[in-house]
A and B are shown apart, each in its own frame.
Chain A
């Protein structure tokens, strides 16, 4: 087919529509903010979104894999908190070195995820239930380890936290942002270009078919939960870099924010359709709404929840309509 006819035939693909809608919404929200508050127009507002939400972004990427297989992971918030508590505890009370702590925390996250994945696949326990168990388990573990929120003064951690990477136009981002973006790129690559990634979509499309097609369904299903556990642990580390403390009561309700970001980004809850880029947009939308409310200054932050609820509703309706039209 010649390039010319390709161009002529280009229509946004149906499955890209929810994502495009999110992008439009994001730009509109930014435009609105810039028109209302002069300071909003500066590039740094956008970069701050990334700085403030890089940890949530990483968590939501893990969630994207899980939701693409048609599952759900409710444990992410607790695993984030567990990671912060573990870091603080080991660094401050036991004098572990930073690299050892980082490796351990990531391993614990991946291990918890693998455990939940195994429960789900081999014992056929609903993902909702298995990860709910994970939620309570990890949160309980947090509180057994520590009931307070010590702050961290480890040299490596503070230097990662405080390093600013300058960008043109007098802006800057943090190391966490770079880490989060690397995760996004890797996730996008894995989903699009590897067998594991394509199997994730296949399982979400029809698990039974995937089995009969000879795909490695068991391994894939367990892996996505392991991956989500790993991402939550990494998200937890980014949160530590951001706050420099380990709080057993942090990140409560994060699972819902992550799920909301994934769904707003156009990934379908029943699985099989969605993109990591959508999830990035979803996280940015959540952050943008929060920022707008902060700039306004008179609205309580509960407005965020209400707006997110309304948005989620809007997107689910949009998805339904699209799904119906595509038939």
Chain B
């Protein structure tokens, strides 16, 4: 069998940013009718390779051929016209426009020379329906969860009849059902002969969908493999350049609740609720306890967490911290009670791209101390250095602008910011979103250690395995209601899935 003609061929690509060589002599090719996974640790250069393809960044050396002829796109619109449709890692949509418009803007269906709104809404419903998403498409995008926004971005890319579809971490904020749905759509596109570039840190997803994979490490090409020729362990080894340490010691200690029963309750919610966000629920978190929140997207996980922190105020119920009822109406109140909240949306709620890693890390601590008591530069450097090392943030210079960090490394900076405030309750909303498996393990270890030292943690993640690995107790949400609270002794992901599906604990 002769190899078919490659639709995309990138050869000898080099890209330098001031002080970093992001890509060094990288070759990459894709064939029609295949899903090609681009793999590598955080900062390996995956997103950069994609951006050089679509003309967001120019290249310093190398050639790009699309369908046999050399191309050099001046920017995303040109790439799009040539048949390269891309969903970038950060959701790039307009929150002020409706869901339907975000899918179609720039190529709206028109009739009599004007935008045909009704037709646009109908087509949006059909497209999202194919992704198993049913919602009011004329609602504003800004009021939707990150997951929905991600699906909308994907729907937008799918609508273009492209030859090459590029998806940079499309699944990082989706739950299992949605991932399945997306993979199904990708399979059918593959049948139609589309070439799909897929980036994900979830090894099992990659093995489920990819035909071929290219591995990058530190901006260099490690190799190209057929999925059938490589095992997950080999893949990970190639990605990180050494063997992955396993987390079994963690599993042991994490579930040991014996000394927790005696620990004082740090925070207790009684009948707390907010209309349209979460139905009344009760929850207690003890010092040193990790409570996991499980549930599908839109089940109210983030909303529940926001109530505990005071980011939203509740309509009913009471919140007790250290045995005293407190009105938790503003995030400031949360901070005063040493509750820290690391939000899921790092772009709009978290990081300041124009500041350095160090400045971003000390931001929350500085705010908690008050601006009249500035942290000394020496102390800032110390803290930054410690957490850059602990979380393996790369590049390691704390003076790098956060804007220039890779997606996963930005997430680590956000996490570091809340960790250094040494909160008594740390709320982590999707903390490992977009983080590679090596670093994920590090973060999980850190959470386990902190809880061992007495910090209470509320851990929200779409990944059930991760919730189970870390939590002492799991609270399950469905349709904005708490439907079960379970001790994590011999709980399995399947049990939680069936509770989520049925809506009650058996």
Contact = CB atoms under 8 A, between A and B. Distances in A.
A206 B114 contact: no
Nearest to B104: A198
A163 interface: no
Given A213-B156, A214-B76, A215-B77, A194 B115 contact: yes
B250 interface: no
B274 to A, nearest CB: 12
Contact of A213 (B93, B96, B140, B143): B93
A201 B115 CA distance: 14
A212 B94 contact: no
B101 A198 contact: yes
B96 A205 contact: yes
Given A212-B56, A214-B106, A204 B96 contact: yes
Nearest to A212: B92
Contacts, number: 68
B298 interface: no
Interface in A180-230: 189, 192-195, 198-199, 201-202, 204-206, 208-216
Contact of B106 (A201, A215, A272, A273): A215
Contact of B97 (A195, A205, A216): A205
A210 B94 contact: yes
B432 interface: no
A103 interface: no
Contact of B92 (A193, A213, A216, A327): A213
Nearest to B88: A212
Question: Considering residues A193, A204, A212, which has the most beta carbons from chain B within 10 angstroms of its beta carbon?
Answer: A212
B105 interface: yes
Contacts of A15: 140
B51 to A, nearest CB: 10
B115 A205 contact: no
B399 to A, nearest CB: 24
Contacts of B96: 201, 204-206, 272-273
B108 interface: yes
A212 B76 contact: yes
A326 interface: yes
Contact of A205 (B77, B94, B312): B94
Contacts of A216: 77
Interface residues of B, number: 24
Given A215-B105, A215-B106, A205 B88 contact: no
B94 A202 contact: yes
B115 A206 contact: no
B80 A195 contact: no
B75 interface: yes
A202 B156 CA distance: 15
Question: Considering residues B80, B94, B101, B106, which has the most beta carbons from chain A within 10 angstroms of its beta carbon?
Answer: B94
B67 interface: no
Nearest to B156: A213
B106 A213 contact: yes
A212 B93 CA distance: 9
B327 interface: no
Interface in B124-145: 140, 142-143
A7 to B, nearest CB: 16
B95 interface: yes
A202 B105 contact: yes
Contacts of B88: 212
Interface in B246-275: none
Given A198-B108, A205-B96, A272-B94, A211 B115 contact: no
Contacts of A208: 92
Contacts of B77: 214-216
Given A193-B114, A206-B92, A213-B92, A201 B108 contact: no
A311 B240 CA distance: 61
A195 B106 contact: yes
Contacts of B97: 198, 201-202, 205
Nearest to B101: A198
A193 B116 CA distance: 8
B108 A211 contact: no
A209 B95 CA distance: 10
B105 A198 contact: yes
A204 B114 CA distance: 21
A212 B79 CA distance: 11
B422 to A, nearest CB: 28
B159 to A, nearest CB: 12
Interface in B73-108: 75-77, 80-81, 88, 92-97, 101, 105-106, 108
B199 to A, nearest CB: 16
Nearest to B311: A327
Contacts of B114: 189, 193-194
Nearest to A271: B96
Contacts of A202: 94, 97, 105
Given A211-B76, A326-B143, A195 B94 contact: no
A192 B114 CA distance: 9
Contacts of A199: 105-106
Nearest to A206: B94
Interface in A147-162: none
A209 to B, nearest CB: 4
Contacts of A210: 94
A8 B140 CA distance: 20
B124 to A, nearest CB: 14
Contacts of B108: 195, 198
Contacts of A192: 115
Given A198-B115, A205-B95, A213 B56 contact: no
Interface in A302-327: 326-327
Nearest to A214: B77
Top 5 A-B pairs, shortest CB-CB distance: A205-B94, A214-B77, A205-B96, A272-B96, A193-B114
Given A195-B106, A213-B93, A272-B94, 9 more contacts: A194-B115, A195-B108, A209-B94, A213-B76, A213-B106, A214-B76, A215-B77, A215-B105, A273-B96
8 contacts: A193-B115, A195-B108, A202-B97, A204-B96, A213-B94, A214-B75, A215-B106, A272-B94
